[in-house]
Amino acid sequence: MSELATSSAAERAYGLPSAATSATALQIFLEFLLIGATSFGRGVVAYLRNALVTKRAWLSDKAFVELLAISQSLPGLNSSNMAILVGDRLCGVRGALAAITGICLPSGLLMFAVGMVYHQHGDHPLVTAALKGVAASAVYGGFPRDEDPHRGCVPLADVPAVGSSL
């Protein structure tokens, strides 16, 4: 039998491997929660591809690239756009909500914790210096440089020192 004849309707219509038809909203949430908790910056696309194509086989390579192209053409973060698109494709609206919640929850909780610490200790000179250092590293990381493998990386030990000099 040909490959086309043995593929499911979901695979033919959406480029989904047959394993994708069994993805639940909980599985989608947990996978995107792991991605959100362990990926940083531009590396998130590699984490997404590894989890969605290689590990879970929820998407084919072709479908992943198509969704990535769509997510890059939309406003907002590629990772958030991909979460919504993949979740919707796998499990409809429930999947989209599960994916976006999963990928945003770790950073949301971290920012909440940082905000609480800042609220309690924001007037401390070391906290002020650290925040100025983080701001400086964000600005420094935003400028393109030729073949710089450490682009955007400022050693954590240098953050208070950089911040105190501003």
131-143 pLDDT per residue, tens? 788 777 767 665 5
Q: CB under 8 Å to 150, separation ≥6 — which residues?
A: none
How far from 83 is each of 10, 79, 90, 156, CA to CA, in Å?
19, 6, 10, 30
State the sign of the Cα–Cα–Cα–Cα dihedral 100, 106, 107, 112: positive
pLDDT at 40: 74
Mean pLDDT of the region 91-115: 94
pTM score above 0.85: no
